[in-house]
Amino acid sequence: MDLVRIEGRTSREVVDSVERAVRDGRAAPGDVLPSVRALAAQLRISPATVAAAYRDLRIRGILTSEVGKHTRISPRPPLVNRTAGTVPAGARDLSDGNPDPKFMPSITRVTRTVSFGQYGYNSPTMLPGLVEQAGVQFGGLDVTEEQLCLASGAMDGVERVLSAWLRPGDQVLVEDPCYTGVLDLVRSCGLSAVPVAVDERGLKPDSLRAALSGTTAALVLTPRAQNPTGAAIDGQRAAELATVLQRHRDVLVVENDHMGPMAGSDFCTLTRGRRRWAVIRSVSKSLGPDLRLAFLAGDPMTIGRVEGRQRLGSGWVSHILQQIVVELSNDPAVQDMTGRAERAYRTRRETLLAELSAHGVAAAGRSGLNVMIPVLEEATTLRSLQDRGWLLRAGEPHRLASPPFVRVTTATLEPEEAAVLATAIAETIHPQRRTRSV
């Protein structure tokens, strides 16, 4: 087993050496590092020095380790690698998680007609038009203006809420499997991710009950359009989960409702009656990923902390972006396009599920843009499908304790393509069935 080559005499030098290896591509996600004692002997330094370096690297999310197992480079360490990924020639890329560009409105057209004002340091951080829209977005939560603010995208909102209450070492319950960005963020903040199993209706109550403890600080979940499973919490499941959470009143509940009304399912929340909570809703899937804006609703103290910390750094979300979002959201043509997009996404997702079912392939995807397909071995499945011209995503970066799977982003998958893809998937994961049919 190849180990990452490390240099240094101090803990800081060891940290820098590992980070350089990751940044330069000499150390890849999953690569094994030497044990503390082995590296100390190799570098002729104290084991305590190596242990301190490894601890710092784990807190920063560069390394992962478990008792009795190897220390490895994290699946997606928070370091920029300038090596650009490439899509193989001729491959149909269904791995990226993006919405269909055909359903994104023209920002150029809006910027030609809107009049942008000048705003100073003491201006309100949220335009009145967006306050009004936020009130509509979160109408079911009965929030006041002091319970609303903006973030630069959904994950910026999640990070700001967690940072408002948590400290390195705190336990955060996450869906398993879950969006890779959540796992990466939790790890990079030095927090401890605790898995909670998910089925097609979201978090499993028994798994949530087992995961909760007196040291649990927060729960991060996606109530609908869950990535990668497509799970969506319904009213009955929400009631069951709320009952489990009642005994843990101080746990911060963060709902990343990133897709909002475009998810293709109703919004059922676990935040009612909570002391600390936040719901985040982005415009990325409806108006475009490059519009880095998300609405954030929460209890007054959480919103106060988030907005207060934001003012010390970035200050506010650009009023130019805010004005563009206001104009786009109020445009009847854009509203019509959003409705067509939601219907198209639903049709594309459900068509693939139906085709897979016809081939006897188990899959999940109640809402959103993704379909999850359980497999025995991810890498082999992905290589075989790539040879057939289909590029899908591995489940490994999404998983903590859940079994293997591959993910299909159906956002651009036309219904006529679904049959071809389903056949390729079936022949890949059930080759014996194809053999018997010949």
| 225 and 313 both lie in a single domain | yes
Q: pLDDT, tens digit, for every residue of 258-275?
A: 999 899 999 999 999 999
| 306 and 345 both lie in a single domain | no
Regarding pTM above 0.85, the answer is yes
| 323 and 344 both lie in a single domain | no
Is residue 303 pLDDT above 60, yes or no?
yes
Q: Which residues contact 413 (CB under 8 A, 6 or more apart)?
A: 94, 348, 351, 352, 421
Which SS3 state, helix, strand or coil, does residue 102 take? helix
Q: How far is CA 397 from CA 33, 251, 369, 403, 425, in A?
A: 19, 26, 18, 12, 21
In the prediction, which pLDDT does 1 show?
41
**What average pLDDT does this structure show over 19-46?**
90
Residue at which a domain ends, from 307, 330, 353? 330
Structural contact between residues 97 and 285, judged by C-beta atoms closer than 8 angstroms: no
In the prediction, which pLDDT does 182 show?
94
Q: pLDDT, tens digit, for every residue of 111-127?
A: 888 888 888 888 889 99
Strands (E), 250-409: 252-256, 277-282, 294-298, 370-374, 390-391, 393-394, 405-409
Residue of 346, 155, 366, 230 lying closest to 338 (CA atoms)? 346
Which SS3 state, helix, strand or coil, does residue 373 take? strand
Range of the domain at 348: 92-101+334-437
Residue 173 is part of a domain; what is its CATH number?
3.40.640.10
- Is 137 inside any structural domain? yes
Residue at which a domain ends, from 312, 330, 348? 330
Tokens of 312: 């010390």
Give the max Cα distance, the chain: 74
- Is 370 inside any structural domain? yes
Structural contact between residues 256 and 181, judged by C-beta atoms closer than 8 angstroms: no
| 392 and 339 both lie in a single domain | yes
- Is 84 inside any structural domain? no
Is residue 435 pLDDT above 90, yes or no?
no
| 270 and 339 both lie in a single domain | no
- Is 342 inside any structural domain? yes
Is residue 299 pLDDT above 60, yes or no?
yes
Among 179-183, 218-222, 276-280, where is mean pLDDT lowest? 179-183
